[in-house]
Amino acid sequence: MIRQAGALATALALQAGTAWTEEGCADITGIDACVVGIWQMESGGPAEWMRKYTPAGVKMPGMDGPAGGRIHYRADGTFTGALATGTDGEAVGEQESTSSGRWAVKDGKLYQCTESTSFSLAMQINGRNVALSVPSGGGAQSFDYSCDGDRLETSLTIQGMPEPMVTRFVRAGE
């Protein structure tokens, strides 16, 4: 079970980082003023998506509730983001990821051109410690998105999965 949990976390972290790539991502320069600001994750996202698609018998820490995530899209086209989850009743642990890079919009898509990202998982199952860290460099993702004042929703298609990962945010600042 521990090996399965680590393999799933690695696969999802790597998949999320490589869902879309294209040469010239930096050439996309459109900025949607609605997206500019600090956004707090409200629902959906990795925790909810993983809870739905994690195989039976595999327990990931922090997947019982929503993950706490925040992303800051700046008007100059840069972004920083962080995601953290806590513990649950069976497996004790924490997950954390951070990212930074550039963003832009074009043709109804929100592009994140990540220059730096890291994912770490530390948990204890039946008294046994398990740790996983997946740092990576650049990559790009494209999300379908909608933005309406103080609400932002993104949808990430993950290859081979029946449904996209939908994340809903509320504006938390400018």
Tell me, what's the pLDDT at 13? Answer: 41
What is the C-alpha separation between 59 and 150, in angstroms, rounded? 34
Low-confidence stretches of the chain (pLDDT < 50) are 1-24
Number of domains the chain is built from:
1
**Domain holding 99: CATH number?**
2.40.128
Among residues 169, 161, 171, the alpha carbon closest in space to that of 145 is found at 169
What's the token pair of residue 92?
């004790």
Tell me, what's the pLDDT at 1? Answer: 38
Domain that holds residue 63: 2-173
pTM to 2 decimal places: 0.70
What is the C-alpha separation between 151 and 39, in angstroms, rounded? 8
Residue 35 · residue 147 · CB < 8 Å: yes
Tell me, what's the pLDDT at 95? Answer: 62
Tell me, what's the pLDDT at 19? Answer: 32
Tell me, what's the pLDDT at 58? Answer: 67
DSSP conformational letter for 55: P
